[in-house]
């Protein structure tokens, strides 16, 4: 049995949600807790603003540069594709990866733009073939509650109308991708309560046993 002979890989976990739903905070807490179980874990964030594509994305998000809707969309996607080999290497070495935003944000934010230039279907296409997560944690929060949190409103997409569309599109996309393991988390709760919900879901993933080979693409 090839599977039994090969070493188990790390899990690929994605955290998604609206702006200010607490993704980065929760990713950090989850990584710490996983580390506390003597497991190797790596945090990855998209967009990765440190690469060449990431710098273009950063300028766009901060309103310092304009981009055609399709072009910026494909840059966000390229920013993920350029990270794939590194991710697969980490997983194969037994490291669990916690990703702060992924393809789902990619498709949903572009399709939510007010000019309606891009369909969700078009936006999803360049994401096809990226490693699929073993678990997606969707941090669900109403846009009214998200607005109340610090720093909201500084970047391009941080407008309430846009966030309402984003939330609807996330739910629509996840309902179509029913082969994925997507778990809804009530992110309107206090920090520790959100972390506890996430930890219970993580423990179930761990209990379901290790994964082998590359994740499906």
Of 19 and 134, the one with the shorter C-beta distance to Na ion is 19
- CA Rg, the chain, in Å? 17
The answer to whether the beta carbons of residues 23 and 58 sit under 8 Å apart is no
The answer to whether the beta carbons of residues 104 and 169 sit under 8 Å apart is no
CB of 81 to ligand T5A, least distance (A): 11
21 in contact with ligand T5A (CB under 6 A): yes
| C-alpha dihedral sign at 165, 198, 99, 57 | positive
Distance CA 61, CA 154 (A): 9
The maximal CA–CA distance of the chain, rounded, in angstroms, is: 55
Of 81 and 211, the one with the shorter C-beta distance to ligand T5A is 81
Q: Which stretch binds ligand T5A (CB under 6 A): 84-92, 117-125, 150-158, 176-184?
A: 150-158
Nearest CA to 78 out of 100, 101, 47 is that of 47
Q: How many chain residues interact with ligand T5A (CB under 6 A)?
A: 23
Distance CA 147, CA 85 (A): 36
Nearest CA to 43 out of 13, 21, 20 is that of 13
Distance CA 160, CA 158 (A): 7
Of 94 and 153, the one with the shorter C-beta distance to ligand T5A is 153
With CB under 6 A as the contact rule, the residue among 9, 11, 101, 165 that binds ligand T5A is 101
Q: Which two tokens stand for residue 196?
A: 């506890």
Of 34 and 198, the one with the shorter C-beta distance to ligand T5A is 198
Please, which of residues 44-73 interact with ligand T5A by CB under 6 A? 46-47, 61
Cis peptide before 138 (omega within 30 of 0): no
Q: Which does 47 bind (CB under 5 to 8 A by kind): Na ion, ligand T5A, none?
A: ligand T5A
Of 96 and 197, the one with the shorter C-beta distance to ligand T5A is 197
CB of 49 to ligand T5A, least distance (A): 7
13 in contact with ligand T5A (CB under 6 A): no
With CB under 6 A as the contact rule, the residue among 43, 122, 157, 199 that binds ligand T5A is 157
- Footprint on this chain of ligand T5A (rule: CB under 6 A): 17, 19-25, 46-47, 61, 76, 101, 105-106, 109, 149-150, 155, 157, 190-191, 194
């Amino acid at each position: 049995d090839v599977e039994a002979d090969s070493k188990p890989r790390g899990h690929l976990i994605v955290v998604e949600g609206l702006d200010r739903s607490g993704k980065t905070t929760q990713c950090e807490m989850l990584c710490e807790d996983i580390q506390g179980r003597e497991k190797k874990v790596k945090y990855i964030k998209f967009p990765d603003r440190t690469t060449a594509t990431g710098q273009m994305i950063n300028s766009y998000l901060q309103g310092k540069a304009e981009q055609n809707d399709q072009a910026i969309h494909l840059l966000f996607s390229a920013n993920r594709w350029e990270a794939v080999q590194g991710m697969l290497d980490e997983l194969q070495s037994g490291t669990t990866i916690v990703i702060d935003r992924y393809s789902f944000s990619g498709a949903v934010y572009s399709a939510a733009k007010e000019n309606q230039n891009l369909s969700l279907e078009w936006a999803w296409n360049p994401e096809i073939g990226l490693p699929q997560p073993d678990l997606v944690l969707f941090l669900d929060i109403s846009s009214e509650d998200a607005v109340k949190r610090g720093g909201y409103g500084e970047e391009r997409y941080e407008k309430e109308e846009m966030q309402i569309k984003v939330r609807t599109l996330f739910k629509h996309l996840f309902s179509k991708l029913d082969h994925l393991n997507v778990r809804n988390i009530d992110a309107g709760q206090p920090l520790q309560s959100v972390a506890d919900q996430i930890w219970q879901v993580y423990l179930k993933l761990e209990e379901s046993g290790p994964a082998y080979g590359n994740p499906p693409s």
